[in-house]
Amino acid sequence: MKIFMTGGTGFVGTYLTGQLIREGHKVTILTPSLTGLKLKMDGLTYLAGNPTIKGSWQESVRDHEVIINLVGASIFSRWTEAQKKILLSSRIDTTRHLVEALPNESKYITFFSTSAVGYYGFHEDEELTEASPGGDDFLAHLARDWEVEALRAQTKGARVILTRFGIVLGKNGGALGQMIPLFKYFMGGPLGSGRQWFSWVHMADLAQAFIFLLAHKEISGAINLCSPKPVRNKDLGKAIGKVLHRPSFLPAPGFMIELILGEFGSVLLKGQRVIPRRLLDASFKFHYPDIEEALKSVIED
């Protein structure tokens, strides 16, 4: 298949692109700059363009059978009012421009749009599935608005899949890229109470889920892309410490995290216990359902 991707040079996009090409697909990555691009493969093409701005790049969208929208400014920052606007516009504008670029008859097109398990808001111990309602905090509203924009592609006949990511665990970046150095310097441990749930997914399982969903054309709508075995924050710390052979007892006080990070601190101190019910019901097999094995594959390989 011919795949058009935004965010293809990022942490997730780079890995996903490689896996899709190995499956025999051809990928076009939209990128604001054509300089400094590291990934070079047969079947990979780069197109210059900024997805947050309308442009000639939109003409290329209709030549593809699959759209994968991964663009969105990182939430890992202090949420000032200005930053909140960036978080929103980077998602809404890009998605809106992609949907506008679709032909009016798009029945042959599959439109993947990224979302996040933050859609469900903060919860205690209850399990959350795709049927659970959305939350009412900033991150939940951000995810909801992003999804609403993507669902407009249905009016043109496209199959829309809303991929609600858990925290992605992979090499050379992401959440682990920020956490591992702390443990190596004996500064790792639980955040706040450590009881909050951490919904995560191994990068390899995430990529295979995309490939699985491409093949199963009967599936559409929201899909939780996370391990079927979420863990508490304190157990995540123990698993990282075990794999790195480092202690994991040094806690980071909740009040200090909130003082430093403001509203974003709640993302670290609260959580949600999300289950990928629709993938499990469709018989998708996770290669890394357990946190310790997932961490070993990322850290030790």
pLDDT of 301 = 60
pLDDT of 213 = 98
The mean per-residue pLDDT over the stretch 262-273 comes to 81
pLDDT of 73 = 86
Q: Is the dihedral of CA 28, 33, 34, 38 positive or negative?
A: negative
pLDDT, tens digit, for every residue of 18-33? 999 999 999 999 999 8
pLDDT of 13 = 95
Mean pLDDT (the chain, rounded): 90
pLDDT of 285 = 98
Q: Among 84-88, 110-114, 233-237, 243-247, whose mean pLDDT is lowest?
A: 243-247
pLDDT, tens digit, for every residue of 198-236? 999 999 999 999 999 999 999 999 999 999 999 998 888
pLDDT of 35 = 85
Q: Among 42-46, 85-89, 163-167, 260-264, whose mean pLDDT is lowest?
A: 260-264
pLDDT of 55 = 95
Q: How confident is the model at residue 69 (pLDDT cuts 50, 70, 90)?
A: very high
pLDDT of 219 = 98
CA atoms within 13 A on the CB side of 206: 28
Three-state DSSP at 126 gives coil
Q: How confident is the model at residue 260 (pLDDT cuts 50, 70, 90)?
A: low
State the Cα–Cα distance between residues 34 and 126, nearest whole angstrom: 46
State the Cα–Cα distance between residues 257 and 48, nearest whole angstrom: 39
Q: Which strand (E) or helix (H) includes residue 99? A: helix 81-101
pLDDT of 74 = 85
The mean per-residue pLDDT over the stretch 158-173 comes to 92
Domain ranges of the chain: 2-170+200-226+274-280
pLDDT, tens digit, for every residue of 171-181? 877 777 777 77
Closest C-alpha among 43, 15, 20 to residue 211: 20
pLDDT of 267 = 74
Judge: domain 2-170+200-226+274-280, CATH 3.40.109.10.
Answer: no
Straight-line distance from the first to the last Cα atom of the chain, in angstroms, rounded to the nearest whole number: 31
In Å, how far are 62, 128, 216, 279 from 59, measured between CA atoms?
A: 6, 39, 27, 33
pLDDT for residue 254 is more than 70:
no
% of the chain at pLDDT higher than 90: 69
The mean per-residue pLDDT over the stretch 118-134 comes to 95
Q: Which strand (E) or helix (H) includes residue 92? A: helix 81-101
How many residues are recorded in the chain? 301
State the Cα–Cα distance between residues 46 and 39, nearest whole angstrom: 10
